[in-house]
A = this chain, B = another copy of it.
Amino acid sequence: MADRLTYAMIGGGIGAFIGEVHRRAVSLDDRATLVAGALSSTPEKSKQSAEQLGLDPERSYGRYQELFEQESKRDDRVDFVSIVTPNDTHYPIAKMALEHGFHVVLDKPATHTSEQAAELARLAESKGLVCCVTYNYTGYPMVRQARAMIEEGTFGAIRKVYAEYHQGWLANDLEASGQKQAAWRVDPKRAGLGGALGDIGTHAENLVAFVTGLEIESLHASLNAFVPGRALDDDASVLMRFAGGAHGVLTASQVCIGEGNGLTLRVHGDKGSLWWRQETPDELRVALHDQNPVIYSRGGPDLHEDAEVSARIPQGHPEGYLEAFANIYKGAIDAIIAHRDGSAPSRMAQLIPTINDGMRGVRFVERCVQSAKKNAQVDWA
């Protein structure tokens, strides 16, 4: 099959949560094969993971530097690299990948500083390479429907946006138990400036930007670390003023017991409103002025092409997180093929989040932290 690609993974050894998710997301549509990797922080663990994943031992590298050096010399070099290491290592790895001419799929948040992200963006731009950042929630068909409807003006001028991402799993000091996922997220060295803010607040910020296209002009953030001993926020509340006058409220918290992945978006314009909720992602509630609300659904009537091409199965059979995540990879693979063939990118390819989104996300964290420290409003620019 002409359109089957190969890829390498950096990080994501056996046991790592997000690496497994990335691999499943690729597998679901079965258009790329994992053939190489530097899967863990030590060569031994990397080899072990590579064996379990069935990689050719020759292409199982102990360190990422080695991977880029060796792979770039091969005729059958991988088409792209998935980087799923902890946040703090994203920048050097992605930089080296791009410098060696590999397309990159990078877990979010992209980097530790917005300058790093900007540098990666410039590098990808100058090399003409795809640098996709996996803001996976933008892969949900009904999120894309929401974006399309706003772009078409269905809701008029946007006035108010509510975005939330509430979780409860860090309500206690889970990190004290050594739980791996918790440990790095609360550690400034690995997580960066933001705790809940960086981990999930950036998803909410990205969702707002993707769906509404609005640009933040200024913001006022309040950050809390409710669990004793935490150096980073586990709870964030942000008031945002957008260019053009719209106003937004974004909250991200990891201490909301009883919340799983409570990512929601509500947008209110002068002609109508929309509601979307990640935990029931196949539905989009829409209300126009003086009309009864309508429930749009994946696979249902009256959908925009962007929602239709992002669905796999008929209405009423739920799709979920992995399918949405797979849509990001589907788009990235489309983009890489279009790049290779010099053809026009598909709609899926055009919809993927890029390193520019990653850069904006990191900037969002920086500005929130700045505002919270000053306890005052700060400008975006």
Where the two chains meet, the residues of A that have a C-beta atom closer than 8 Å to any C-beta of B are 1, 4, 17, 21, 23-24, 27-30, 52-54, 159-160, 162, 167-169, 171-172, 220, 222, 224, 226, 235, 237, 239, 241, 247, 249, 251, 253, 255-262, 266, 268-273, 275, 278-282, 285-297, 299-302, 312-323, 375-377
Distance in angstroms between the alpha carbons of A257 and B271 in the assembled complex: 8
Given contacts A162-B251, A258-B287, contact A322 B316 (CB under 8 A): no
Contact assessment for A226 and B301 in the assembled complex, using a CB-CB cutoff below 8 Å = no
Distance in angstroms between the alpha carbons of A313 and B19 in the assembled complex: 12
Chain B CB within 10 Å, residue with most, of A255, A266, A300, A322: A322
Distance in angstroms between the alpha carbons of A54 and B321 in the assembled complex: 27
Closest chain-B Cβ to A153's Cβ sits at a distance in Å of 14
Given contacts A320-B320, A375-B377, contact A1 B53 (CB under 8 A): yes
Contact assessment for A258 and B272 in the assembled complex, using a CB-CB cutoff below 8 Å = yes
Contact assessment for A321 and B318 in the assembled complex, using a CB-CB cutoff below 8 Å = yes
Pick the residue among B24, B289, B314 that contacts A28 (CB under 8 A).
B24
Contact assessment for B316 and A318 in the assembled complex, using a CB-CB cutoff below 8 Å = no
Closest chain-B Cβ to A249's Cβ sits at a distance in Å of 5
Residues of B near A269 (CB, < 8 A) are 257
**In the complex, what residue of chain B is closest to A291 when comparing beta carbons?**
B301
Closest chain-B Cβ to A150's Cβ sits at a distance in Å of 14
Contact assessment for B273 and A259 in the assembled complex, using a CB-CB cutoff below 8 Å = yes
20 A–B pairs (Cβ distance < 8 Å), ordered by A: A159-B235, A162-B251, A171-B268, A171-B289, A249-B251, A253-B268, A257-B268, A258-B272, A258-B293, A260-B314, A260-B316, A278-B317, A280-B318, A292-B300, A292-B301, A292-B302, A313-B321, A317-B320, A318-B319, A320-B320
Residues of B near A266 (CB, < 8 A) are 256
Closest chain-B Cβ to A258's Cβ sits at a distance in Å of 3
Closest chain-B Cβ to A290's Cβ sits at a distance in Å of 5
Closest chain-B Cβ to A13's Cβ sits at a distance in Å of 15
Distance in angstroms between the alpha carbons of A313 and B279 in the assembled complex: 13
Closest chain-B Cβ to A10's Cβ sits at a distance in Å of 19
Contact assessment for B222 and A313 in the assembled complex, using a CB-CB cutoff below 8 Å = no
Distance in angstroms between the alpha carbons of A260 and B172 in the assembled complex: 36
Pick the residue among B4, B290, B297 that contacts A260 (CB under 8 A).
B297
